[in-house]
Amino acid sequence: MATPLSAERLLKALRDEGLTVVEHRSWRTNNRNHKGLWGPAHGVMIHHTVTSGTASSVELCYNGHSALPGPLCHGVIAKDGTVYLVGHGRANHAGLGDDDVLQAVIAERELPPDNVANTDGNRHFYGFEAVNLGDGKDPWPEKQLLAIERVAAAVCRAHSWSQRSVIGHLEWQPGKVDPRGFGMDWLRGRIGARLAGEPELPPTEPSKPRFEPFPGAAFFKVGRASPIVTSMGRRLVAEGCGRYAVGPGPKWSEADRKSYAAWQRRCGYSGAAADGIPGKSSWDRLRVPNV
């Protein structure tokens, strides 16, 4: 028996598994809790949307339709692997299913045939809809299959469940065929292998260097003391334009002016334009680190 994840924990679990997650509109409060209980949670159910197009599929799953109000799941998995969260709480995705299947999921054992529809699945399952026509012809890109695997693994990892807690709609409710196009035993095999290791986090982009904005020509006058002057002087030395006997130091000096004039000439300036007083163009090219 498991208490459903809070919205924050669900979002974190998905992102920690390396998924790109989009929070769609007011997903945190979009639910059917007024129609029945949500929890205890026992598993993850995978569906296909029988639609095409990401934006329209996400809107449909968020709003529902005249015969079935939304949300129709907790998340929509697009063809490119992006996960759109559309609901949190009870969602209209599972319907009535087989009580023996539920007991097998709880025990994490092999599933029996689903031959009755007598148990409320909306109460006990997280639901994820993958964008696919479900006609057996619409392809399943590897990015999408990997995202389905990661979504299921993320929720299982957060609850300390095994891959046996993941089922397809077709294994829950008689007459359903989704997801169509891959086998659930095959998917559970991938999920099990993933759960055996650590989450694969997305590569972190190196932080971009930050540079001092141009402080204005009036900043550079004799006696001005600032760490910016020191940082600028170090950059000039690194560029081979330093004209310092000692330093550079924090006070603007004649040595700083001569060093900057050398940099201006390096940049192609001459005459009055290479007087050693920084201008915005040459300053931006020098890229003085933040201090």
Per DSSP, the three-state class of 46 is strand
Contact status, residue 27 vs residue 62, Cβ threshold 8 Å: yes
Kindly report, residue by residue over 121-143, the tens digit of the pLDDT.
999 999 999 999 999 999 999 99
Does residue 186 sit in the same domain as residue 222? no
Position 206 confidence tier, pLDDT thresholds 50, 70, 90: low
Looking only at the bridges linking them, the beta strands covering 125-130 and 75-77 are parallel
- pTM, full prediction: 0.70
Model pLDDT, residue 246: 86
Please report whether residue 114 resides in a domain: yes
Does 87 have pLDDT greater than 70? Answer: yes
Q: Provide the domain count of the chain.
A: 2
Does residue 182 sit in the same domain as residue 225? no
Q: Which of 55, 45, 68, 62 is nearest to 131 (CA)?
A: 55
Among all chains, which residue has been given the structure tokens 């023996």? 100
Q: First-to-last CA distance in the chain?
A: 54
Looking only at the bridges linking them, the beta strands covering 43-48 and 166-168 are parallel
- Residues pairing with 166 in the sheet: 44
Interacting residues of 206 by C-beta distance below 8 A, sequence separation 6+: none
Per DSSP, the three-state class of 43 is strand
Please report whether residue 200 resides in a domain: no
The helix-helix angle for 184-195 and 142-159 (nearest 10°) equals: 60
CA distance 102 to 96: 11
Kindly report, residue by residue over 153-200, the tens digit of the pLDDT.
999 999 999 999 999 999 999 999 999 999 999 999 999 999 998 776
Does residue 238 sit in the same domain as residue 131? no
Please report whether residue 146 resides in a domain: yes
CA distance 179 to 169: 7
Please report whether residue 138 resides in a domain: yes
Does residue 38 sit in the same domain as residue 171? yes
Per DSSP, the three-state class of 115 is coil
Contact status, residue 129 vs residue 56, Cβ threshold 8 Å: no
Model pLDDT, residue 55: 96
Single-letter residue type at 67: A
What would the two tokens of residue 230 be? 């020191």
The helix-helix angle for 254-266 and 227-238 (nearest 10°) equals: 50
Does residue 35 sit in the same domain as residue 151? yes
CA distance 285 to 276: 15
Looking only at the bridges linking them, the beta strands covering 125-130 and 43-48 are parallel
Range of the domain at 261: 217-286
Does residue 129 sit in the same domain as residue 21? yes
Helix residue ranges per DSSP H, the chain:
7-16, 54-63, 99-107, 142-159, 184-195, 227-238, 254-266, 280-286
Q: Which domain-ending residue is among 195, 227, 254?
A: 195
Higher pLDDT pick, 40 / 209: 40
Does 54 have pLDDT greater than 60? Answer: yes
Does residue 191 sit in the same domain as residue 231? no
Does residue 39 sit in the same domain as residue 87? yes
Q: What percent of the chain shows pLDDT beyond 90?
A: 92
Please report whether residue 210 resides in a domain: no
Does residue 88 sit in the same domain as residue 226? no
Single-letter residue type at 274: A
Average pLDDT over residues 109-122: 97
Q: Which of 150, 33, 40, 47 is nearest to 87 (CA)?
A: 33
